Structure 1
Amino acid sequence: MDQAYMTYREIRIAENKKRRLKIVRRQRFLVGAVIAILAVIAAFIASTLVTEARSEAVKYKYYTSVTVHSGDTLESLADKYITEDYRDHTSYIREVCGINNLEDADSIVAGECIILPYYSEEFKK
């Protein structure tokens, strides 16, 4: 309708309707922007978690029985079986002594079997 033929009340109603439409459009735009920002943040967090999960490989602790040969020491056996999961040779040898009830690291004898721990990323049944 042409404004020339509208009453003051009709003009005011039409302007209020336009103003309400602008407000609704602005609200829809803001809701869409917030949803888009939340989607980007969720995607970033998900990709970060997936990347961290892939970088940290699961390691399983196993034990093996080893027969001590002449000339073997716990240091030489530790060199073969130790992994980066242990802080140093001393902590590994201390654990081996605890598992095998050894008084000290020099008390192994050729011919006896001892249990040695090791870590592996492979799951064995």
Structure 2
Amino acid sequence: MLESTVAAIRPLDEAAMTTARELQGRLTKPAGSLGALEPLSVRLAGLAGTCPPPLPDQAAVAIFAGDHGVHAQGVSPWPQEVTAQMIGNFLAGGAVVNAFARQAGASVTVVDVGVATPLSATPPDPA
């Protein structure tokens, strides 16, 4: 699978990227107002070779959650327990990312990559 994936990689399609930039310039919004989404849309068009790029058949959102561990040193105002609370909200479907995912028909998966607080096996009620 890795070999076939690597073999399928090709250079970005410059024509599709130009079309995407032109499309961004025609939209009724201030230039740059969508932040990182604008260059991302151009890159996705380049990767797909067409503008607009096709939507994935099975959209998915992955949230990789881990603690920073620097609250005690005053670097962050939020203690590590907040990470677990946020994960609970993601799992319960109560976060903004969940609303966006529902709108797009995407699944949401949370991956624990280093959360110090033990996580509950049962998601909390978002209400």
TM-score tier by shorter-chain length is: under 0.3
Structure with bigger RCO (C-alpha 8 Å, 6+ apart):
1
TM-score, structure 1 normalization:
0.22
TM-score, structure 2 normalization:
0.22
